[in-house]
Each structure stands twice: as structure tokens, then as C-alpha cells.
Structure 1
Amino acid sequence: MLQILGKTSSINVRKVLWTCAELGLPFEQEDWGSGFRATHVPEFLALNPNGMVPVIKDGEFVLWESNSIIRYLAGRYHGEALYPADPCERAKCDQWIDWQASELNRSWSYAFLAMVRRSPAHQDSREIDVSWANWTRHMAIVERQLEFTGAFIAGPSFSLADIPIALSVNRWLETPLRHDDFRAVAAYMERLATREGFREYCRNGTP
């Protein structure tokens, strides 16, 4: 059975858990990371030299990096409805998956660590304001894309790209700062509420 190593409070672990829910894929999950089993012990570093979660073990196959994992699972376990075989449609998914990791993730770091994690090292009010403004600017990109598609982030149908994007939207909504009135984003989250994986691993009160 597929093994998932990583604590369920991690946004990147929840990408993998939600993907498994969409695929109807059974798994065993072990809590690793801050507050649980340490990831900088030799046992874990042998699996991921970065000492970060998630890691999966699928039989003898080991993989880390959350976006690589969800792509692998969709490809390995007949997830064509999530991750299309057509190169153009797949590329649309990939651009949003990669954008979430390379751009959107970076925008929230300071504000999230300050307001949610309460990190003592991230309490400069000016830096919080700058980070929040940058995060909101990136959320405006999501808003415009959802206005364009009228449905989901990569087009009219739910896709693998919606998993990291929706988790990021949830994090934005759960951070206690003033939020712009992004109506397409609000409608998007309501649209996703019919999905069991969304309810269990995204809109569950965990940022």
C-alpha cells in the first residue's frame, strides 16, 4: 500500500492526501515533521536528503517534492480526468501547479509566518504589510483567471492544478488580515465544496 510520510497539518502533505482522495487511492500515513517524528534523522534523510515532508513510498519507489508526487500519482493511477494526456491541456495544469510553487508560495511567507505561525522572527509590521500586499496581488491573478474560466483554475473542469491552488486560497482566507472582495475566488471555493477531498484536506479549518 502507498505510504505517505508527513504531518497532516502541512499544506504540501495535504496536496498528496487530497490527490489520493480524488483517485480513490488507499494509503497509510505517518506523522513526520515539527511536533512529530524528526525529519533530520538518518532514517528520514535516506528517503529525502532535504529533510522535508512529504515523502511517499510506493512499493520500492520513493519520491519527494509534493508537486512531483501528485503528478506521479495521477500518472500512475489512471488520473487522466485530473491530469490530461493531451500535451496542451496538461501544460495548462502544469503552469498553475508550477506557478503556485514558484510565485504564489513565495508571496505569503512573511505574512503567514507572522500572523498564523506567530514566529517571533517575523513581527516587523512593515514587512508584514509588504508581504500581504504581494500575496493579495498574486491572489488577484487567481481572481482574474477564475473570472476568465468561470469554473476552475485551468479551465472548465476540475484538474490536478486545483489542488495546490485551492490549498493556497484556503491559506489566504484563513490568515487573519483584511481580504479584498474576490467574488470569483469565493464562488470557486463554494464550487469545490462538493468534493470530499476538498472538505477533508482543504477547507477544514487548517491553513
Structure 2
Amino acid sequence: MAKAVAKSAGKPAAKPAAKAAAKAATKTAPKAAGKTAAKAKAKPARKSALTISMLKPSVNNMTVRVFARAAGLDHAETDAWGQTRSPEYMARNPAHLTPMIEDKGLPRGVLWESCAIMQYLSNKHGLEKFYPKAPAKRAMIDSAMFYLIGTLYPYVARATYPALGFPQYAGEVGHSDAHPDRKSEAQKAAVAAIAEPLEVFHSFFRDGKPFIGGKNPSIADIRLAATLEFLAVIDYALPKWAKEYMAAMEKKLGKAYAGPASDVRGYIAHVRSQAKA
């Protein structure tokens, strides 16, 4: 009898308790949801740690854009087209060059020159895959990059800038008031000179390896592959190994390479279409 009474007494008590709990939950839920939503709205958008000011048609800029993507770095890109001579840009970068990165760890807050940027970011983030720490291996990567910017790229610039519509460097024949025939001769001489340093990359720096960096592309490989993209504007006949090398770079780096490369290729295609029109 006592058990029956206990059961019958317990049932009515349980329902009011359940209803009270449900009401409390209903009242609390909207408030909790409201607080969560308020916090979500109040939270500002996260700013990327690294900002890259760049020009899409440029292979120098393509170099850093490919590297940042391939390295998986948190970054944002700012198109600096038409802005590099502005007082604001010049105040930060008196050389008015791109690509330029902005990073809090830098003494002056900014850094330009594609090779220096890749070296700095590799050192900062410990990216030995792209820039080995071992002195001998690093020396070869540095040598390849310096040889490129000191020897190969000047030839490529002289050969392609006139067709690309880019201004020639001061002191170059193409920058002067020389007769068009002299400018044409200088351009042809530059085209002819490309083959020698190009072969040096093949026979010396790669030396039978897939890339300068060995099995994986290094920062020197990224710089070289990007540079070779410009030669399409003059229909330069790349040797078979160079074509295979560029294809291997794009396959290895995937979208990290293809994205920035498409901007350069798109510009080249536009330039070529305008020349035919």
C-alpha cells in the first residue's frame, strides 16, 4: 500500500517539475543565443599576419605570390597597380617597387625584392623545405637566385619588356632615344644571350635533379619558373628540359603556382591579341 501511495504521489510532482524546467530553459535559451550572437557580431574580422602589395602581370610579383601559397602562409594580397608612386606608398617604400610585404617583425615594417622576401619568410617560419639551413645546400640556392637576377633576368627583361609594354631600365638602349633599329638589335642580342645562362641552370644547378632544390622545388626554382613565363610573349623556343621543368613545377605546386601564373599568362595573351589587332 505504501508503495502504491508513493508512486501515485510521485507522478503528479514530476510533471510540474518538468514543466518548470522546460519554462526555465525556454526563457534562458533565447538569452544565451542572443549573447552568443552578440559576441559573434562584435568579434572583428581577423587580419592576415602578412600583407603583400603586388602587380598581377609581373613575374617578380608572381614569385612571392606562388611562394606564399605553396608555403601555406596566412597572407592577404593588395593590388598596387597605379599606387606605387603615391605619397603613401613612397613613404613606406622609397624604391616604389613590388612585390612588397608588410610584416611587424621587420625593422622598417616592409621589405621588397622577391628573393629577399622569400629568404626572410623561410627563415622566420622555418621553411627548410624551400630554403635549407645546411650551409652548402643553402649556398647553391643563393647562388642560383643571384645568378638569375644578375645575369638571366636582365636578358629576359631586355628581350620581353618592349613586347610587354613595360618601361626599360634607365641606361638600357630601349630606354634611350636611340634609333628603332638599334633598339631592335639590342633586343635580338638579349634573346640570343638567354640560351647560355639557361643551360647553366640545367647542367649545373639542377645537375640531373628534378629541381634545383632536389626532389622538391626551392625558392630558387620558384624564381626561375616564374621568370621563364615571360618568354612566351616573344615565342621563345624553350628547350625540351625547360618545358618539362615548368610543367613539373606547376604539377608539384598545384594551385599555388597555377593561380598567380594565370594572371601573368592572361596579361601575355592580352598583349599578344593587341599586337595582332
Q: Identify the TM-score tier after normalising by the shorter chain.
A: 0.7 to 0.9
Matched residue type, 1:132? V
Structure 1 distance, partners of 2:139, 2:236, is: 34
1:1-207 counterparts in 2 under 5 A? 1=48, 2-32=50-80, 36-59=81-104, 61-117=109-165, 122=174, 123=180, 124-145=183-204, 148-172=207-231, 174-179=232-237, 182-194=239-251, 195-196=253-254, 197-202=256-261, 205-206=265-266
Q: CA deviation at 1:176?
A: 2.2
Structure 2 distance, partners of 1:104, 1:11, is: 13
Q: CA deviation at 1:178?
A: 4.4
Q: CA deviation at 1:102?
A: 1.0
Q: CA deviation at 1:177?
A: 3.5
Write the deviation string for residues 147-180 of structure 1: whole angstroms up to 9, x where unpaired: 62331124343211101111112222x1324415
Runs (4+) off by over 6 Å: 118-121
Does structure 1 retain, via aligned residues, the 8 Å contact 2:59–2:229? no
Distance of aligned partners of 1:147 and 1:58 in 2 relative to their CA distance in 1, 3 Å threshold: closer
Write the deviation string for residues 14-55 of structure 1: whole angstroms up to 9, x where unpaired: 1111111111012111111xxx23212221112211111111
Structure 1 distance, partners of 2:203, 2:136, is: 21
Normalised TM-score (structure 2): 0.66
Does structure 2 retain, via aligned residues, the 8 Å contact 1:111–1:131? yes
Write the deviation string for residues 82-116 of structure 1: whole angstroms up to 9, x where unpaired: 11111111111111111111111111222212233
Determine which structure has the larger helix proportion and give its number.
2
Structure 1 distance, partners of 2:97, 2:236, is: 31
Structure 2 distance, partners of 1:111, 1:13, is: 19
Structure 2 distance, partners of 1:178, 1:19, is: 25
Q: Which moved more, 1:88-97 or 1:116-125?
A: 116-125
Structure 1 unaligned spans of 5+: none
Does structure 1 retain, via aligned residues, the 8 Å contact 2:156–2:194? yes
Identity rate, percent:
23
Secondary structure, counterpart of 1:162 in structure 2: helix
Does structure 1 retain, via aligned residues, the 8 Å contact 2:100–2:111? yes
Q: CA deviation at 1:192?
A: 1.3
Normalised TM-score (structure 1): 0.86
| Number of residues of Structure 1 aligned to a counterpart in Structure 2 | 202
Structure 2 unaligned spans of 5+: 1-47, 175-179, 269-277
Q: CA deviation at 1:146?
A: 6.5
Matched residue type, 2:250? A
Does structure 1 retain, via aligned residues, the 8 Å contact 2:156–2:230? no
Does structure 2 retain, via aligned residues, the 8 Å contact 1:108–1:132? yes
Structure 2 distance, partners of 1:165, 1:141, is: 12
Structure 2 distance, partners of 1:5, 1:118, is: 18
